[in-house]
Chain A
């Protein structure tokens, strides 16, 4: 039961299904969510729908922009496809906390890694998943640095990743097994 307009607004901004009910029929919306206070019902009647929709969409755009900044390699490799995936993902999760954008990026990468196909070809799909895993570990290491963690990769990411960001060359590089040590906030290549 909703009695506080601010709570309703927060949910309208962030919950797709809740917002859809509101846009479709405000009277039914109030009934469905047991909004009985006359003051709150009047507030809902007076809220401009188009403005709520615009703001809600701008929040997703902002989230996407921040997440893409945290996943520069992934963004380069996926191109415009990342936008479609993000919009679908954003309907299922709302990040929170001081480092909410890192939290968002972490959950988005996890979502992407669960998809059957995130690139057009098999080899580029493998490479993209490698970059995703690397960027995911970087984010996890920022949120809570590991004292000691070893990761194995199919490519020499310490060399390939900075080159990808610098040259924007999207070709899949030659495979080279690499072992990386994550120690506190440092990344060290062991092999």
Chain B
């Protein structure tokens, strides 16, 4: 992870944000593409990546490898992902500490794994399989979880530390996910950051959230709140990630909000 270049400020590439991204190139250094959007697609769709690469560093963000699956990795999907990553030739790529499918059931979203020895070993084995096929540095993202599974033997930060140490992977610290989990499950996000091995952090994700009566939800569709920015400030006093990325997934019509968030992100550097 030490050889990864400094990237700066990024934004998740969504078709709806194409114009905004190109009109605000001065505020954006890199873009993140959702890998599945470019697998098994017509060639015209892949040309989007070719165009993006002319202006930005492109980071592939995978969502379906299901690194936490007990039954292992889908090798056919892994090969398709490998082809895409090699086409992009990025400084690194990312996936999630979660699972999305098990025993023929596709959950359709990132589901949590229990933070214990069993799943630590499962995810390490799966990452070993992945690294044998994809020879680019991998960073791992912490997800929001709404189910705190029984059988936990590690706190969140400790699990991430050991996982990164044993796999050599970097960390994609999603500050918004961290904040949401801390509020929904009553732990101190600052203590989490203090417990984290900050040398593992390569990139951050940030964005706003929404609240229901009793939960905070990662809709990725709102302006970044002061609480999230405070956490980022706290982290930046301790370490400097290679990149910060705004991961906006909805309410794209609120362009001023999105641009504001990019300006704020630039101020961190």
* A-to-B contact residues, CB < 8 Å: 4, 6-7, 9-11, 13-14, 42-43, 46-48, 51-52, 54-55, 58-59, 62-63, 65, 94-100, 142, 145, 184-185
Q: List 10 A-B contacts (CB under 8 A).
A: A47-B150, A52-B147, A54-B146, A54-B215, A55-B146, A59-B107, A59-B108, A65-B250, A98-B36, A142-B41
Over the window 131-167 of chain B, the binary record of Cβ atoms lying under 8 Å from chain A Cβ atoms (1 yes, 0 no) is: 0000000000000001111110000000000000000
Contact assessment for A51 and B146 in the assembled complex, using a CB-CB cutoff below 8 Å: yes
Question: Which residues in B have their C-beta under 8 angstroms from that of A58?
Answer: 109, 146, 217
Q: Which of B180-231 contact A (CB under 8 A)?
A: 215, 217
* B-to-A contact residues, CB < 8 Å: 36, 39-42, 44, 64, 69-70, 77, 80, 99, 101-103, 105-109, 111, 146-151, 215, 217, 250
Contact assessment for A59 and B105 in the assembled complex, using a CB-CB cutoff below 8 Å: no
Complex Cα distance, B40 from A164, in Å, reads 30
Contact assessment for A9 and B106 in the assembled complex, using a CB-CB cutoff below 8 Å: no
Apart from the given pairs A4-B103, A96-B106, 4 other A-B contacts in the complex at a CB distance below 8 Å: A6-B69, A7-B102, A14-B105, A14-B107
Complex Cα distance, B148 from A10, in Å, reads 15
Identity of the chain A residue whose Cβ is nearest the Cβ of B64 in the assembled complex: A98
Highest count of chain B CB atoms <10 Å: which of A9, A52, A94:
A9
Question: Which residues in B have their C-beta under 8 angstroms from that of A14?
Answer: 105, 107-108
Q: Which 5 A-B pairs have the closest CB atoms?
A: A46-B150, A96-B106, A10-B105, A10-B102, A7-B103
Contact assessment for B44 and A185 in the assembled complex, using a CB-CB cutoff below 8 Å: yes
Complex Cα distance, B102 from A7, in Å, reads 6
- Knowing A98-B36, A98-B39, A185-B42 are in contact, say whether A51-B147 is a contact too (CB < 8 A): yes
Complex Cα distance, B57 from A180, in Å, reads 39
Complex Cα distance, B99 from A6, in Å, reads 9
Question: Which residues in A have their C-beta under 8 angstroms from that of B147?
Answer: 9, 47-48, 51-52, 54-55
Question: Which residues in A have their C-beta under 8 angstroms from that of B44?
Answer: 185
Identity of the chain A residue whose Cβ is nearest the Cβ of B215 in the assembled complex: A54
Complex Cα distance, B36 from A46, in Å, reads 35
Question: Which residues in B have their C-beta under 8 angstroms from that of A46?
Answer: 150-151
B162 to chain A, nearest CB (A): 20
Question: Which residues in A have their C-beta under 8 angstroms from that of B36?
Answer: 98-99
Question: Which residues in B have their C-beta under 8 angstroms from that of A59?
Answer: 107-109
Which of A48, A145, A184, A185 contacts B148, CB < 8 Å? A48
Contact assessment for A10 and B40 in the assembled complex, using a CB-CB cutoff below 8 Å: no
Which of A9, A65, A94 contacts B111, CB < 8 Å? A9
Contact assessment for B146 and A100 in the assembled complex, using a CB-CB cutoff below 8 Å: no
A35 to chain B, nearest CB (A): 14
Contact assessment for A98 and B40 in the assembled complex, using a CB-CB cutoff below 8 Å: yes
Question: Which residues in A have their C-beta under 8 angstroms from that of B107?
Answer: 10, 13-14, 59
Complex Cα distance, B69 from A28, in Å, reads 27
A4 to chain B, nearest CB (A): 6
Complex Cα distance, B220 from A163, in Å, reads 29
A32 to chain B, nearest CB (A): 18
A7 to chain B, nearest CB (A): 4
Contact assessment for A4 and B106 in the assembled complex, using a CB-CB cutoff below 8 Å: no
Complex Cα distance, B107 from A58, in Å, reads 11
